[in-house]
Every structure is written in structure tokens, then in C-alpha cells.
Amino acid sequence: MQNLKITDMLNYKFLYSLSSSEDSETACFISSEMNVAENTYKKQLWQYDAKTRALKCVKDLGSSNQYYWYDNNSVLISKLDESKQISGVFRINLDTGIIEDEFIVPLSVKNIQKLDEERFIITALYDHCEEDDFSENFVDAGMKRARRNEDYYVFDEIPFWHDDRGIINKKRRGLSLFNRKTGENKLISKPLSDVSAVGIRREKVLYQAKTYTEKIEVTSGLYVYDIVSDTTEVIVAEGTYNISNALFMEDDIVFFGTDMKSYGIRQNDCIYIYRVDTHKVELLKDMDVSLKTAITCDCRYKTNNTVKVHKGKVYFTITTGYETELLSIDRNGYLERHMEKSDAIDDYAFINSGILYVGMRDMRLQELYLKEAHDNYKISEFNESTIQNKKIVSPEIFTYKSNAYEIDGFVIKPVEFDAHKQYPGILMIHGGPNTTYGKVFYHDMQCLVNEGYCVFFTNPHGSAGRGNAFGDLRGRYGHVDYEDLMNFTDEVLKRYPWIDSSNLGVIGGSYGGFMTNWIIGHTDRFKCAISEKGISNWIGKFATTDIGITTNVDQQASDPWTDQPKMWAHSPMKYADRVKTPTLFIHSDQDYRCWYLEGLEMFTALMYHNVESKIYLFKGESHAINRSGKPRNRIKRLEVILEWFKNHLKGE
């Protein structure tokens, strides 16, 4: 057996976008793997044949990151020409991999759904900074858009950027009816509406949209566009629900959302139904669980939509504790479980013999599985050879009591563990905070235990999987969650006396970075710390990030004017003069979720007070550097993490 190394992740294959054809005879998905030579990702389209259970690679996708079903034997992909701001749409035959057809859309395409041979419903990016004349030659119009703001940006609304979309000022994802034969592209959503979930039933188009000028709102609305009559019906007006998903259930409409009345923006979704016969919205089910796969992991390239409709039922994943399940609900609110608790269900599709799904099971990386009746079959071997001869350690799981709750804790021992030795320990803190750690494979953790560290982690207050009351941190950041983490650390040291209590490190990203910044200002028990994409000053974050004016205001239960002292009291910067812990900061210059100003503030404060500190600012990376960042940067990130811990916990 060999030790797992940082560079082993170059061989990992990440699976996503799993979906089946209309006849359920075949399914497709995308695999992605790092190409360090070109510093990018190699993406391939794969097909699964339900009859033969055979897998085959259909085609390399290049820069394309999504596909769209055209018919049972072919799919569409789109490729953006950035210089002209137009998208080429290509039809790929699944049997041959040959491109059979193509057409041009005068926009940056985000989603395509086929109506018939000529008409398509397209979600695309519209730039409303200036009036676009789509009656002129669309190549000229696209080049005109591409030339805008080459030397400067103009912001006249908030937020002006978004972490996974870049600069979004006056840019909206619009919905249009496109005719490939005539080239006509008719916008059917409002000009300043930002469209997300889209569904088609017969000649009707359901879509979710958020319309705003100057300042974004949290709520969104649901609309149905009738293609025949060219009219739009408002199903749910904007202003009531924070909606995460919507789809047709036969003629009715089911949507997942929250009214935010009891627990704010991060209140768990309820399931609602709009009944076409009564024209009323009804609460279909309030489950008080996370209606998604909330298991966080650094071995996914892309998250998936796990809400789907099949044979008159809506299917969805839930997270309970640190595991996921697959459920369905019908129009009467009847729930059915289709997959019991699993380590992680990342995506799924329906085929004739059962449910095909991408899962992380038994400390494996992502693979394709088939659920038939009561049996699960592993279909793929994408990652088996990569880790089968590596030293992988499974976590030990226990519960501890903190703040009146029994909370799950995890400990991963170092490889080749010797109970007679003392080992340095590292507390890892997840982001969110409304995500959760599970018993899945984490590359960062396995690298650390292969370097001789004990890694321990938990799901404190604020985490997903335990209901609204447990997940509600509004106005309490750095208090009940901090107590949980310290109680957990105490319990770990009591249960595992071979961990050297004088040789502990702490690391966290995003919310975990906030908690790391908070911890070093409130205790000196950790010998060193690493804060990734963390938060240091809620007042500054309010005005510089994509969720500052919405989520952060809600979660801090204040803003800079109504209760500035409260925001400052919950900011790690207030306590930075107390810090004695050597700290490494890691940020990215295009992380608009936790803008790198946050890291610079803490770094400067520590250096000002003569505390050893260093900051790495990665160029061209977003908040997701540890999941989908450029391969070389992902390697460098882990190298500096291991180096920092090595220098401070091993004295090497």
C-alpha cells in the first residue's frame, strides 16, 4: 500500500449531470478530470445503456460543461465564442459520437429545451447595460457586447457581482423562444428578470424568476408562459417565497421554498403545490429537513439539481444527520422512500430497470450505481484503480453532548497508527454553515492523515441535517457554534489521549474560515491556524460581497446602521489584537462570496500586532477553488497547507 499524495487527485474523475432519455433506455452524464499540463479540466460525455448495462465514452466536450436531450438517441451541447458572444449549438449522435447538426444562438446559452424540430426554449445571458438591437446582424451585436467594458466596469445596482457568474451588473438570465429556422429569438421573460428553474409541459413553459432594479430581493416568483396565446400567467407573485426549485407535476406545479417567517433565509424548504383546478397554492409537506444533498465534499467538481419529476411524482434527496436519502412525493402529499440512508447521493436518473445514481459509498470516490428493488450494483470503475492501493483511513464516529444536543463527531487516525505514540491533531471546520460533514472520502483529510496527523471534525449548531432549530444561527455566530467546537475538541482529547493537546492545529473554509478567525481571537489552545476564504468583518462583508445585503444581514440579525455594535461584536476583527496563533490565510481574487478584503484585514491586523502570518492570494479563482479551481492552483493550495502544518506542528 502506498501513501496518498496531493497529486493523486490529478487522477480523480468527477461525475455530474446524470439524466435519462425520455424512453428511459439510456442515460448520460459528464466526467471531469484535471489536466495539469493545460491547467484545465478534461470533460467527456458518457452513455449508459440500460439494456446491456454497458458504459461508453461518447465524445470529448472541450470547454462545454452541460448537455441537453434532443431525442432518445442524441443530445445538444453549446459552445460560447466569447469574442462574438454567440453560442454554437451542436447535436451529437450518441451511437456514433458524430456531430449531426448545428445552429447559432446570438447569446451566451445557459440551458436549452426542445419543443419541436424548429423551436427551442433557451435560457441565456442578456446584458441590459445598453439597449441591444437583436434585429440587426446578431454576430455584429454580439461583438459589440463583447467589446463593452474592456477597460472599466460600471456598477449601478447591488449586487454587482456573483461568485459563480462574475460581474452581473444589469446582466440577467433571460428566457426566450428561439426558432432555428428563422433565427428569431423572442424574449418571453421580463427584461430585468433573472430566470432559474424552467420546465415544459405541452405548449406551456414554467419558470422561476427574480425581477429587480437597483437592489436584489430574496424572494422570487413563478410564471407560466403559454406559447399558443403568447401570454404569461403569474402563479406565485414575487415577495412571498424564497424559492429554490419548481417543476410541473402533470398539470399541477410543485415548488420548494420557504416563507422565511420562523428561521430566516436559511429556513429549510417546505414543499408547496399549485393546483391548476383551484388556482391556489397549498402547503404539501413541511418536513423540517434539508431537501437536498447537503454533505460537503472536496471531491465533487459540480453540484447537481436533485429535484426531479418522474411518472407523476416529484423526487428529491434529503439530508438527515450526516447521510442522504431519496424520497418522492405525490400530489396528495404521500411520501415514499426509494433509497435508505446512504453516505452521499450526488445525482440520479430513472431507467427502466431502476434508479441510476452517482454516489459516494464506503470511502470511495464518486461512482455510478444502479438501485434495483432492494439491491445496489456498482456500475462503474472510474476511480477504483486510483485509490485501491492507497492508504485510506475511515473515520470513527461517536456522539458528544453540547448545548443540550447529542452531536456527531468524527476522528480519522493517522495512517500506520501506533497507540504508543503521540500525534498532532487538526480540527477541520466545514463551510456553510448549513452544510454537513459525512463519512465520505475527503482528499484534504486523507492527505493530512497520510502525513501523520489526526484529523477530527464535527457538525456544530448551524449545520444542516438536524432541523431548523439546530440550524438557526441568526445573531449567534461565534457563540453556540464556538462552544460546540470547543466541547468537541475537549471530548476528542479525552477519548483519544494519544493526541498531543499541546500540538493542535485548526483549519476551515468560508464559514469555517470565519470560525477559524473567531477561534484564534478567543483561545490560544491551537498552535497554528489556517483560515481559507474566511470572514473577518461583517460590516465590510455587507458592502462588498454578493450575499452581503441579503443572507449576511439576515444571519447577523442586523445591518451597519440598525445595530452596528452587534455586527462588530460578531466580527473576528474586533478580537484580532488578542491573537497569538500563527495563521495562514488563503483567498482568491475572484471570490465574490467572501471577498479577499476579509483575509487582508485579518492578515494586516495580525502582522500589525507582531503575530506570524502569511497570505496566499490565488489569481483568477472563485470561492470554489478547492473543488473546481485550476489544477495547478489546487495543488499549490494543498502544498502550502501541508507546509504550514509541517512547520508549526512538526517543527520541520
H helices present in 154-303, as ranges: none
Q: What is the pLDDT of residues 285-331, one digit of tens each?
A: 999 999 999 999 999 999 999 999 999 999 999 999 999 999 999 99
Q: How many C-beta atoms lie closer than 10 Å to residue 479's C-beta?
A: 15
First to last CA, the chain: 25
The Cα–Cα gap between 13 and 33 comes to: 5
For the segment 91-120, the average pLDDT, to the nearest whole number, is 94
Q: Report helix, strand or coil for 376.
A: strand
Crossing angle of helices 511-520/480-495, nearest 10°?
A: 80
User: For residue 177, which of 198, 162, 160 has the smallest C-alpha distance?
Assistant: 198
Structural domain boundaries in the chain: 391-649
Q: What is the largest CA-CA distance in the chain?
A: 78
What pLDDT does residue 135 have? 46
Cell, residue 195 = 430566470
Whether 134 shows a pLDDT value over 50: the answer reads no
What pLDDT does residue 137 have? 55
**pTM attached to this predicted model:** 0.96
Q: How far is CA 416 from the centre of its chain?
A: 34
Whether 166 shows a pLDDT value over 90: the answer reads yes
Which is more confident, 134 or 87? 87
Q: Which residues of 225-244 are buried (b: 16+ CB within 10 A; e: fewer)?
A: bebeeeeeeebbebeebbbb
* Residue 603 main-chain phi, psi, to 5 deg: -60, -45
User: What CATH number matches the domain at 391-649, 3.40.50.720, 3.40.30.10, 3.30.413.10, 3.40.50.1820?
Assistant: 3.40.50.1820
131 Cβ partners below 8 Å, 6+ apart? Answer: none
Q: Are strands 367-372 and 354-360 parallel, antiparallel or unpaired?
A: antiparallel
Q: How far is CA 56 from the centre of its chain?
A: 28
DSSP 485-543: HHHHHHHHHHH-TTEEEEEEEEEEETHHHHHHHHHHTT----SEEEEES----HHHHHH
Q: Of 128-137, 170-179, 188-197, 414-423, where does mean pLDDT reach its minimum?
A: 128-137
Q: What is the pLDDT of residues 402-458, one digit of tens each?
A: 999 999 999 999 999 999 999 999 999 999 999 999 999 999 999 999 999 999 999
SS3 breakdown of the chain: % helix, strand, coil, rounded to 5?
20, 40, 40
Measure Cα distances from 383 to 8, 12, 179, 634 in Å: 11, 6, 42, 19
pLDDT confidence of 390, banded at 50, 70, 90?
A: very high
Mean pLDDT of the chain: 95
What's the number of CA atoms in the CB half-sphere (13 Å) around residue 603? 19
Whether 144 shows a pLDDT value over 70: the answer reads no
Q: What is the pLDDT of residues 45-59, one digit of tens each?
A: 999 999 999 999 999
Judge whether 507 and 517 are in contact, CB under 8 Å.
no
